[in-house]
Amino acid sequence: MSRGPSLQLNGTGRLRHFLTIDGLNRELLTEILDTAEGFAGVSERTVKKVPLCRGKIVANLFFENSTRTRTTFELAGKRLSADVLNLNITASSTSKGETLLDTLRNLEAMHVDMFVVRHAVSGAAHFIARHAAPGVGVINAGDGRHAHPTQAILDMFTIRRHKGEFTGLRVAIVGDILHSRVARSQILALNTLGVSEVRVIAPRTLLPVEARSLGVHIYHDMDEGIRDVDVVIMLRLQKERMQGAMLPSEHEYYRLFGLTEARLAAADSEAIVMHPGPINRGVEMASEVADGSRSVILQQVSYGIAVRMAVISIIIGTQNQQGQDNKG
């Protein structure tokens, strides 16, 4: 689904929205990673704030439940000194019949500078970006099965922090590829950043029909697919999105595709284990792996704040530059 590039970038190629990895080049992704690197130490300061977005208003519009993503976006905005609004959609006017555009217009009347949008419908963030007022930025915090670009970037940041360069890396993504917006964004980011090989490991029922066109090597055997990889990214089984019997049972799935210490031994001796969360222990991976020395899952959560600070600050920077150009 390539709807993003012209919508995401302004006339000089600067990021004005962040909706999808699709169409963004390596230089832009690297800029986000480098900017996040500069923010990574803010959490360890006595005063955990920088003044880059002082006076700006960021509205979190979460039409779908989330704890980790919403919380890290809220912290990211506040650490940039922005005013952050968390709109409780279930208690808002949208549940009383107000349309999405009505909600958008009312918030714009309050001079909101940015919307962070999470929605169950694919393309919702693109819709809001197309209809938002000029100078208002939109960040996609996950839409349907389509994309979750900031999760993918924080995963790339985690990989770079632990592995250095992307070139030469073999990365395996394991599990529910079919329903995962995270997997699609990860695959795009990994290939754009130049890894040696992206493998997807899944039962046939959990692979999208277009899987082979994504630039990946497909495996249906976990032991074969994980052999010699440098990074293992496990995915959550998204049972809430499954229709019909896609799996015999969770026990059978764990037997065939669950990550155990014995299975992990086939990967590179310095391989790291990742998961976007939340983990279904004993279904996707064993607790000893999730809590083990090769797991970087908690670091992913921590890095999410720095990455989201980076994306917000880059888009606000584009807005500020545009405002100066208009004055000039």
Ordered by where they begin, the domains of the chain are: 5-147+302-327 (3.40.50.1370), 149-295 (3.40.50.1370)
CA dist., res. 204 & res. 228, Å (int)? 23
Binding-site residue numbers for L-aspartate are 96, 181, 236
CA dist., res. 254 & res. 282, Å (int)? 7
User: For 44-80, what is each residue's pLDDT tens digit?
Assistant: 788 889 999 999 999 999 988 888 899 999 999 999 9
Buried b (16+ CB within 10 A) or exposed e, 52-73: bbeebbbbbbbbbeeeebbebb
User: For 178-192, what is each residue's pLDDT tens digit?
Assistant: 989 999 999 999 999
pLDDT at 104: 87
pTM of the shown model: 0.92
Q: For 89, which DSSP code?
A: G
Per cent of the chain over pLDDT 70 is: 91
pLDDT at 211: 85
Binding-site residue numbers for carbamoyl phosphate are 68-69, 118, 148, 151, 277-278
pLDDT at 177: 93
pLDDT at 68: 86
101 pLDDT band, cuts 50/70/90, is: confident
Binding-site residue numbers are 68-69, 96, 118, 148, 151, 181, 236, 277-278
CA dist., res. 142 & res. 67, Å (int)? 13
144 pLDDT band, cuts 50/70/90, is: confident
User: For 106-140, what is each residue's pLDDT tens digit?
Assistant: 889 999 999 999 998 899 999 999 999 999 999 99
